[in-house]
A and B are shown apart, each in its own frame.
Chain A
Amino acid sequence: MTGGRQGGRCGWRWWWAVAACWLGLIAAAAAAAELDDIRARGELVWGADQEGGGPHVYIDPENPTRLVGFEVDLADMLAAELGVTARFQQGQWDRLPLLLGRAADCVINGIESTPERARDWRCSRPYFAYALQLVARRDSPLDSPEALAKEGPRGPWRVGVLTGSAAEIEMRRRTDFAVEVVGYDGTVDCLEQLRGRVLDAALMDDCIASFNADRFGELRGIGRPFAGGTYTILTAPDTPRLSAAIDEALGRLITDGRLKALYDRWDLAGRQQMLLLRDAAEVPPARRGSLADLIRGALPLLLRSAGMTILLSVASFPLAILIGLAVAVGRLHGPAWLRPFLAGYVEILRGTPLMLQLYALFFLLPKVGLALPALVAAILGLAMNYSAYESEIYRAGLKAVPAGQFEAALALGMTKWQSLRHVLVPQAVRIVMPPITSDFIALFKDTSVCSAITVIELTKRYSVLALSTGRIAELAIVTALLYLAMSWPLSLLSRWFERRLERRSERSQA
């Protein structure tokens, strides 16, 4: 008894220690590293996305362990100016600013100056000038960006952009264009889909279009670049001295010609860059609107994306159940030669990530001539992935039906399939109803993975809205409430099934 109480107190002390450690870590992490911390550390950590591609930051094709790009060189030069060395930190492009103050001191990755970014982060003086280049296949009927105003032969033009980029903002702003905008996480994915005829055109920074010109020989630039802007280096809001030091360092690199030399080395028209940078005005920060305005503006978009989440779930889950049931029945009662294949199907789909499967369906199938629309690929991918889990549940359910049931059916002269259809499967379905409903809730949340293949559902919409408005916490709460509003009824349904089943088994025991 005494020992037990002591043990309990000891346990409490341990928990307090853990809590204190966590609080300490959080406090340490909350303060962004200022210039002095960076100098003391001897390292400037810069965030970028190597998936974003060249010429900014990309993997050297000749030496895949090495990162190259004009921003890699720029980061090295800046760090040297600050008296430290540069260290790269990987992040997903549209979420790079979220690394600031935690995993990175600054973000250098083709981040365009926008009023919203100037409001939420510290933006350096411009270091590169870009314009937007429209790209299409050589055989495309498009002859200028203005031609997007009239619908194409297949309806609105499908135009690919990098999610969160200036190109996306420009395309969504241009209500005069008859376009359907499709967001990608990487430029190369986008260009592959353009080559595979899933897209009609793509809009991107001119330097990216030129960089990929050789690799995508069947594409061409449509008209001259338009709607330009400049890139800026982002730092955390509470690091004024770091931001000032970066501005000064950039100033020195511009005046003494080292930045021009860098751009010339990368075939980025150094002389013209200097001309543009000299003239580029600073972007004034945007005003932060009221929370009510924000929610009024965001809610319709979030609701529409919640509709997409629902569509993905209700379209894929019945399919998953049907495939899963067929696989389970095949594995238990099908011909012997079929069983190893079905077992393989289940193991492959259960043993690989859903994200990878969606990628294969969406980005690899077009290479063998089967270009699925993103929505179809998403529904099919979810259905196949979940069918593997469903089939295991059904298999357990079918095994849980007493052997006497099958015998009784056979003894009445039923065929194997009649016994399955009328006797075994209906009972198995009743047994596995609770795990299946809870699986539906899991699938419902897994739909967020579909954003990887350009389907904008609730989570993706949240992420885009949160980053463009800077209201990360407020919108997270609204989004979470929407998810709960949708999954709560499903939970209730699942519990109802369980209660009903318990009642029935109590009755049959009585």
Chain B
Amino acid sequence: MIEVDSLAAVRAGNRILDAVTLAVAEGTVTTLVGPSGGGKSTLLRCLNGLETFAAGQVMIAGHTLIAGDHPPRALERVRRDVGMVFQGFNLFPHLSAIDNVTLAPRIVRGMPPSEARSRGLELLDRVGLSRFADARPATLSGGQQQRVAIARSLAMEPRVMLFDEPTSALDPQMSAEVLDVIVELARGGQTMVVVTHDHGFARRAATQVVELVAGRVHRAGPPAEILAGVGG
């Protein structure tokens, strides 16, 4: 489903990613771990074209991204198949939870509003928030906001979901709510790449763990192997 080949990214003269090569099979969960500044988030953002890279290529959900700029149309096509959940939730504060979820299906895929709404309500139900459909993001807790953000991403029926430290901004209890939802998705066979510091989650849900250190793949393999003897 994802193949990253010799990816290199440079920001302000610094090499952020260097010859990163990895593969993610369909229906598996890959967690990216490693110290801060190791290039985890940059790698994730290269996967859906939010950041450009200097060399190498990315094949994802049937699309190919190469080094340098891409025409906007090509990126829009990639992003329709690749969902992303951010550390800071980034919900649209002027829209209710249900409108956050239905906006992209309606305007990007031209789904009729009634259909978008009923599917949106189903998704909110899946993340346990159907009661809050009409609530504004500002009135929801952090954990609830992140779960709405996940539903918003799922609404586009992405073939791959990218999570960028989805629980770093949350306290342990709210983290657990969000992680439960992600684990549930993994069980349902959703292909996912998750940047996280939470080794507990990696052990519980990951098929593969990739450790990035100083922009390079330091180690990669099943969680038992990579995380053996590491706390957290």
- Apart from A407-B86, A411-B153, A412-B152, list 15 A-B contacts with CB within 8 A: A402-B90, A407-B50, A407-B90, A410-B50, A410-B79, A411-B82, A411-B83, A413-B76, A414-B107, A416-B72, A418-B107, A422-B107, A427-B92, A427-B93, A427-B94
Given A427-B94, A430-B94: A413 in contact with B86 (beta carbons within 8 A): no
In the complex, whether B156 has a CB less than 8 A from a CB of chain A is yes
In the complex, whether B104 has a CB less than 8 A from a CB of chain A is yes
| A504 adjacent to B138 (CB under 8 Å) | yes
Given A416-B72, A427-B93, A507-B138: A411 in contact with B108 (beta carbons within 8 A): no
- 25 sampled A-B residue pairs with Cβ under 8 A: A404-B86, A405-B92, A407-B86, A408-B86, A409-B92, A410-B75, A410-B79, A411-B48, A411-B79, A411-B86, A411-B153, A412-B79, A412-B103, A412-B104, A412-B108, A413-B77, A413-B108, A414-B76, A414-B104, A414-B108, A415-B76, A418-B107, A418-B108, A427-B93, A507-B138
| A508 adjacent to B138 (CB under 8 Å) | yes
**Beta-carbon contacts of A54-69 to B below 8 Å, as 1s and 0s?**
0000000000000000
In the complex, whether B36 has a CB less than 8 A from a CB of chain A is no
In the complex, whether B80 has a CB less than 8 A from a CB of chain A is yes
B44–chain A nearest beta-carbon distance, Å: 11
B182–chain A nearest beta-carbon distance, Å: 17
| B72 adjacent to A508 (CB under 8 Å) | no
| B72 adjacent to A415 (CB under 8 Å) | yes
Q: How far is the CA of A410 from the CA of B75 in the complex (A)?
A: 9
Q: Considering only CB atoms and an 8 Å cut-off, how many residues of chain A contact the other chain?
A: 22
In the complex, whether B88 has a CB less than 8 A from a CB of chain A is yes
Q: Point out the residues of chain A lying under 8 angstroms from B152, CB to CB.
A: 412
Q: Which residue of B lies closest to A403 (CB)?
A: B90
Q: Which of A408, A410, A507 has the most CB of B within 10 A?
A: A408
In the complex, whether A426 has a CB less than 8 A from a CB of chain B is yes
Q: How far is the CA of A423 from the CA of B72 in the complex (A)?
A: 18
In the complex, whether B139 has a CB less than 8 A from a CB of chain A is yes
Given A411-B83, A414-B107: A405 in contact with B153 (beta carbons within 8 A): no
Q: Which residue of B lies closest to A507 (CB)?
A: B138
Within 8 A of A (CB), among B119-141: 137-139
* Chain B residues close to A by CB (< 8 Å): 48, 50, 72, 75-77, 79-80, 82-84, 86, 88, 90-94, 103-104, 107-108, 137-139, 149, 152-153, 156
B140–chain A nearest beta-carbon distance, Å: 10
Q: How far is the CA of A408 from the CA of B95 in the complex (A)?
A: 14
Q: Which of A409, A411, A422 has the most CB of B within 10 A?
A: A411
B54–chain A nearest beta-carbon distance, Å: 21
A241–chain B nearest beta-carbon distance, Å: 74
A423–chain B nearest beta-carbon distance, Å: 6
Within 8 A of B (CB), among A456-510: 504, 507-508
Q: Point out the residues of chain B lying under 8 angstroms from A402, CB to CB.
A: 88, 90
Q: Point out the residues of chain B lying under 8 angstroms from A508, CB to CB.
A: 93, 137-138
Q: How far is the CA of A422 from the CA of B105 in the complex (A)?
A: 13
* Chain A residues close to B by CB (< 8 Å): 402, 404-405, 407-416, 418, 422-423, 426-427, 430, 504, 507-508
Q: Point out the residues of chain B lying under 8 angstroms from A418, CB to CB.
A: 107-108
Q: Point out the residues of chain B lying under 8 angstroms from A405, CB to CB.
A: 90, 92
Q: How far is the CA of A67 from the CA of B66 in the complex (A)?
A: 75
Q: Which residue of B lies closest to A423 (CB)?
A: B92
Q: How far is the CA of A497 from the CA of B183 in the complex (A)?
A: 43
Q: Point out the residues of chain A lying under 8 angstroms from B138, CB to CB.
A: 504, 507-508
Q: How far is the CA of A508 from the CA of B75 in the complex (A)?
A: 32
A417–chain B nearest beta-carbon distance, Å: 10
| B50 adjacent to A411 (CB under 8 Å) | yes
Q: Which residue of A lies closest to B104 (CB)?
A: A412
Q: Point out the residues of chain A lying under 8 angstroms from B50, CB to CB.
A: 407, 410-411
| A404 adjacent to B139 (CB under 8 Å) | no
Q: Point out the residues of chain B lying under 8 angstroms from A413, CB to CB.
A: 76-77, 79-80, 104, 108, 156
B49–chain A nearest beta-carbon distance, Å: 8
A272–chain B nearest beta-carbon distance, Å: 77
B206–chain A nearest beta-carbon distance, Å: 22
Q: How far is the CA of A404 from the CA of B93 in the complex (A)?
A: 12
Q: Point out the residues of chain B lying under 8 angstroms from A423, CB to CB.
A: 92, 103
